[in-house]
Amino acid sequence: MTTTTQKTASWAKAIAKPATEFPITQLSTISGKIPENLKGSLYRNGPGRLERGGLQVGHWFDGDGAILAVHFAEGQARATYRYVQTEGYLIEEKADKLIFGNYGMAPTGAWLQRFGKSSKNVANTSVIALPDKLLALWEGGLPHALDLETLETFGLENLEGLENRLPYSAHPKRDPLTGEIFNFGVSYGQKATLHIYRSDRNGKLIKKSQTNLQGLPMIHDFVMAGDYLIFSVPPLRMNPFPVLLNLQSYSESLQWKPQEGTEVLVFNRHNLELVSRSVTEPWFQWHFGNGHSDRDGNVVFDLIRYPDFTTNQFLKEVASGKTKTQAKGTFWQMRLNPKTGEFRETSQLIDRGCEFPSVSPAEVGQNSRYTYLSTRRADTNLTELFDAIASYDYQTHTLTEADFGANRYPMEPLFAPDPTNPDRGWIITVVFDGDRKCSEVWIFDSDQLDCEPVCRLALPSIVPTGFHGTWRSQ
């Protein structure tokens, strides 16, 4: 693990105080013009509050979820920002103190007071838009349903079939042709169990399966590639007893065991049956990019690959605003025989540190030309948050970067399609300006990412750096 001198960074101003909600507000234009064909809603999720009652949370992943919605229509934009009204949020809001444990912290209080307390569903990781509701996702439990327009919280959502204690991950995949939604969750007992869910376009559960895992690992994401769902299980193992006794957090209990290798599980996405199971060299990944099947029947998929789990320490430090740990993830492409689990080829596509890969929603699970990523400028220290976005072109093997300048920090780039032209669209990101202490929405032409944005919009208050979002076309 490499460390540098600890310091408070400019991006830390975005999380220094709990975020301030705002009602539906017409956004003012800073520069440019909203494209007339940009019609739909951008939703973003992330931790909006990292302290309460003078006590800071233990990890960036522990903050209460808050959703930003930006609705575009007729060349105008309206936005609202609201905390997800989870049961734990409401209890702690009333008490004005942290009470519950979470990913990176045990419950507060003396041990006897902590014993038996459950973790808080923070609903802070991602979102998926269904026809009649927005789901705020957190991988440790059920999603919360919200109003698509106002973000009013309706409550927990079981998707007409999920048992109350089964988790529903923050990384569902939607088939652009059928609208079907695939997702998973991991439950822990004497063994860990991988639950896979197949739902219709409305989110209603159609089919589910379960598979036992080796040890007690952590799985954060998966990838859909043609007719297959691929899970890569890093060699992380949880020590359950300190967690059950509320002596340690989930994060603190995770041990990196590279000698066990990374396990790759391939499932048929139609019947959810296991096709192959194999073990390969160790690596860790939070996020996959896209995947597809090639002419030879292999599956090709992308991921952000780390050599170990040091990334978790960096993300823990983010919550304090002072990061010293370097953890570099790079963009890789893997080619796998799905029936045998044998890798045909593995290659690093980008050496630059990057994260949050995404593609056009119309290309999920299919061969795509571009992947959009968060990255760092070439001169940025690895202990900083991402301060640029880029697109990778698989045909030319080139990286096109949008440079935001010093002390500006964009979130994950998301593709919004042009309904009149399927080959083009816009890249939308939410940017925190550390010098001016404000947040903005920036819109780029998807094929001109290295040019000035076509439009910049001012948000009424700071929206802290978050994790994932989605685009919902009108």
**What's the confidence (pLDDT) of residue 1?**
47
Region 6-20: what's the mean pLDDT?
Answer: 88
pLDDT digit string, tens, across residues 306-334: 999 999 999 999 999 999 999 999 999 99
Let me know if residue 97 belongs to a domain. yes
Q: What is the CATH number of the domain that holds 241?
A: 2.130.10
Using a CB cutoff of 8 Å and minimum separation of 24, what contacts does 305-312 make? 305/329, 305/330, 305/331, 305/332, 305/348, 307/283, 308/256, 308/258, 308/282, 308/284, 309/234, 309/236, 309/254, 309/256, 309/284, 310/1, 311/284, 311/286, 312/251, 312/254
Instruction: Please state, as a whole number, how many other Cβ atoms lie within 10 Å of the Cβ of residue 183.
Output: 28
- Do 333 and 300 form a contact (C-beta atoms < 8 A)? yes
Evaluate if pTM is beyond 0.85: yes
Give the per-residue pLDDT at 4. 46
At residue 248, does pLDDT exceed 70? yes
Is the per-residue pLDDT at 290 higher than 60?
A: yes
Residue 306 DSSP label: B
CA 34 to centroid of chain Cα atoms: 26
Per the domain annotation, does 424 fall within a domain?
no
Q: Is residue 399 part of a domain?
A: yes
Determine the pLDDT at residue 246.
80
Question: Is the Cα dihedral 236, 237, 242, 243 positive or negative?
Answer: positive
Token pair, residue 439, equals 């947040």
Convert the pLDDT of each residue in 379-412 to its tens digit: 788 889 999 999 999 999 999 999 899 999 999 9
Whether 419 is in a domain gets the answer no
**139, 331, 467 from 286: Cα distances, Å:** 13, 12, 12
How many folded domains does the chain comprise? Answer: 1
Residues 209-224: tens digit of each pLDDT: 999 999 999 999 999 9
Residue 116 pLDDT exceeds 90: no
**Within-domain flag for 417:** no
The pLDDT of residue 3 is 46
Give the residue numbers spanning the domain of 99: 2-407+434-473
Q: What token pair was written down for 233?
A: 């299980």
Tokens standing for 58?
């233990």
CA 185, 186, 188, 193 torsion: positive or negative?
positive
On the question of pLDDT at 228 being above 90, the answer is yes
Indicate if the pLDDT at residue 206 is higher than 90: yes
> What is the chain's percent helix, strand, coil content, to nearest 5?
10, 45, 45
pLDDT at 243: 86
Residue 210 near residue 231, CB atoms below 8 Å: no
pLDDT category of residue 469 using cuts at 50, 70 and 90: very high
Report the alpha-carbon distance of residue 275 to residue 102 in Å, rounded.
34
Give the whole-number percent of the chain exceeding pLDDT 90: 88
Greatest CA span in the chain, whole angstroms? 62
Three-state secondary-structure class, residue 374: strand
Range in 109-123, 217-231, 348-362 the model is least confident about: 109-123
Question: Residue 115: which pLDDT band, with cuts at 50, 70 and 90?
Answer: low
pLDDT at 112: 58
Please tell me the predicted confidence (pLDDT) of residue 110: 67
- Determine the Cα–Cα distance for residues 246 and 232; give it in Å rounded to an integer: 28
Instruction: Tell me what pLDDT residue 161 has.
Output: 80
Q: Give residue 7's pLDDT.
A: 54
For residue 246, being part of any structural domain is answered with: yes
β partners of residue 442: 429, 456
Q: What is the mean pLDDT of residues 151-175?
A: 91
Question: Average pLDDT of the chain?
Answer: 94
Does some domain include residue 416? no
**pLDDT over threshold 60, residue 177:** yes
Question: Does residue 414 sit within a domain?
Answer: no
**Whole-angstrom distance between the N-terminal and C-terminal Cα of the chain?**
46
Give pLDDT, residue 37: 95
- Tell me how far apart the alpha carbons of residues 453 and 448 are, in angstroms, rounded to a whole number: 9
Average pLDDT over residues 433-440: 97
CA distance 427 to 35: 12
